[in-house]
């Protein structure tokens, strides 16, 4: 363990972290500079033999040297240009020809986003695989459904996991659909007019973007417009909220009073520093906690859209935080919730116990519908009739079946019919088919 300031450096570090290191960013800046030099060479603007020297310089530039130069000149991008020029020899004078800082930085940011989005897609695919397996395994695991925190009617655990599977799929689609708006770069100069390229701006920009696998922004100022960046931040927030949604449900299902599932608990794991018996759902709580940061960063990204005139610098400093933070935290959350689900424990006896906790009241809806379908009462009258019986059963602490059987309408039902009506496992409607349909995509 090092003396790090940010938990992202250690506690929440993932594969995503490597994409956002200063070293990685420096490499992407130089990739754009090399693509620009190649375009100039093809058009005869710089000597062709300068390109191999510029390419070779990339492998020789050290982050420490760039930081040393920046300390002196107070400009990070120009520090990279100077460090690269030192290693390119006589070709150094052709680096950064005609471009402005954010031609390089914003285009490099798109390259970083491309790598980061690929990692996010990988995580979402992994989460969906686990959710799909759980949905298939538990499509017949009947449990109580809850609305407003109260017992409603039976559902299945398969339904829960199929729901999360579909939502994760929508977030995956959002990433894929947003790529065309997010993965864009620019090579258009100080205010977007391409004046420094002397009539070759459109051609140079297209050549650079084609080589890098990006689309050129149709129009830009000194920067790529920040609505694009805000969109990906919102998608990350939606993805984080999806993970939080799962974690929150698992936390509630682990409450002592419910106890239907539990996070895997290691043999030597400690739940509390003072209460030895505790099995706190701390991993799920951590997921919920981190989601708040990703959501909060969306506000900052939205503030960055309205820059002054052709640009100001108010987006720059905060983007050094919000981009890596949101991507890394979301990646960690997806990894963590996938691991939680992979090791999730189920407690069948508690699931059954909770189904029976209300003494049959969760089947009042079924009873109402059956009375109406038999033509014994209209639907509204049947609702009121069963409501009164339910209140009586609750007050007297009796099973709804017992109270109903003693009523005038109840006496019209045979024991076999009552057995069927009060069988929780047969009142899940099309749940199995719904799960199968949700998993087909």
Instruction: Indicate which residues carry an active-site annotation.
Output: 148, 272
Classify residue 23 as exposed, middle or buried by CB count within 10 Å of its CB (0-12, 13-18, 19+): exposed
Count each helix (H run) and each strand (E run) in the chain, helices first. 17, 6
d(CA 368, CA 377): 9
CA distances from 170 to 178, 218, 239, 247 (A): 12, 28, 9, 18
User: Pairing state of beta strands 150-156 and 142-147?
Assistant: antiparallel
Q: What is the enclosing helix (H) or strand (E) of 185?
A: strand 184-185
Is 91 in contact with 53 (CB distance < 8 Å)? yes
Residue 311 gets the label, from left (phi > 0), alpha (psi -120 to 50) or beta, of left
Question: What do you get for the CA distance between the two ends of the chain, in Å?
Answer: 44
Is 337 in contact with 247 (CB distance < 8 Å)? yes
Residues sharing a CB contact under 8 Å with residue 153, sequence separation 6 or more, in sequence order: 145, 362, 363, 365, 366, 427
Q: Which two tokens stand for residue 327?
A: 């991507």
* DSSP track, 95-157: TTTT--HHHHHHHHHHHHHHHHHHHHHHHHHHHHHHHHHHHHHTTT-EEEEEETTEEEEEEEH
User: Pairing state of beta strands 215-216 and 261-262?
Assistant: unpaired
The sign one gets for the Cα dihedral 307, 310, 316, 322 is: positive
CA distances from 302 to 127, 234, 321 (A): 29, 9, 14
CB count within 10 Å of CB 417 equals 12
Is 205 in contact with 216 (CB distance < 8 Å)? yes
Q: Looking only at Cα atoms, what is the longest distance across the chain?
A: 102
């Amino acid at each position: 363990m090092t003396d790090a300031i940010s938990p992202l450096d250690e506690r929440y570090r993932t594969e995503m972290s490597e994409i956002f290191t200063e070293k990685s960013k420096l490499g992407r800046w130089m990739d754009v500079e090399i693509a620009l030099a190649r375009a100039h060479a093809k058009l005869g603007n710089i000597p062709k033999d300068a390109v191999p020297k510029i390419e070779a310089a990339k492998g020789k530039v050290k982050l420490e040297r760039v930081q040393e130069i920046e300390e002196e000149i107070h400009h990070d991008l120009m520090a990279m240009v100077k460090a690269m020029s030192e290693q390119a020899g006589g070709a150094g004078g052709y680096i950064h020809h005609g471009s402005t800082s954010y031609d390089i930085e914003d285009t490099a940011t798109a390259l970083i986003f491309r790598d980061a989005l690929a990692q996010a897609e990988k995580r979402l695919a992994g989460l969906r695989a686990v959710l799909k397996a759980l949905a298939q395994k538990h499509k017949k695991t009947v449990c109580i459904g809850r609305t407003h925190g109260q017992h409603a009617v039976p559902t299945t655990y398969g339904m829960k996991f199929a729901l999360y599977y579909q939502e994760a799929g929508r977030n995956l689609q959002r990433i894929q659909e947003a790529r065309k708006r997010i993965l864009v770069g620019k090579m258009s100069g100080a205010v977007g007019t391409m004046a420094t390229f002397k009539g070759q701006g459109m051609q140079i920009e297209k050549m650079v973007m084609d080589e890098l696998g990006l689309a050129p922004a149709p129009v830009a100022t000194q920067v790529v417009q920040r609505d694009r960046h805000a969109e990906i931040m919102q998608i990350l927030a939606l993805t984080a909220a999806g993970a939080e949604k799962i974690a929150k449900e698992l936390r509630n299902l682990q409450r002592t009073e419910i106890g239907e599932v539990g996070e895997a608990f290691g043999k030597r794991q400690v739940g509390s520093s003072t209460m030895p018996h505790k099995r706190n759902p701390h991993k799920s709580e951590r997921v919920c906690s981190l989601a708040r940061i990703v959501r909060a960063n969306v506000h900052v990204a939205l503030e960055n859209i309205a820059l002054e005139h052709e640009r100001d610098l108010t987006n720059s400093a905060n983007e050094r935080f919000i981009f890596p933070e949101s991507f890394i935290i979301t990646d960690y959350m997806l990894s963590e919730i996938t691991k939680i689900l992979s090791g999730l424990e189920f407690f069948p006896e508690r699931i059954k116990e909770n189904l029976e906790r209300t003494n049959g009241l969760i089947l009042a809806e079924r009873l109402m519908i059956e009375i109406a379908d038999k033509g014994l009462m209209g639907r509204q009258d049947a609702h009121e009739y069963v409501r009164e019986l339910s209140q009586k059963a609750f007050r007297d602490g009796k099973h709804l079946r017992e109270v109903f059987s003693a009523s005038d309408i109840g006496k019209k039902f045979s024991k076999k019919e009552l057995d069927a009506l009060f069988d929780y496992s047969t009142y899940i409607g099309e749940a199995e088919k719904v799960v199968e349909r949700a998993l087909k995509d």
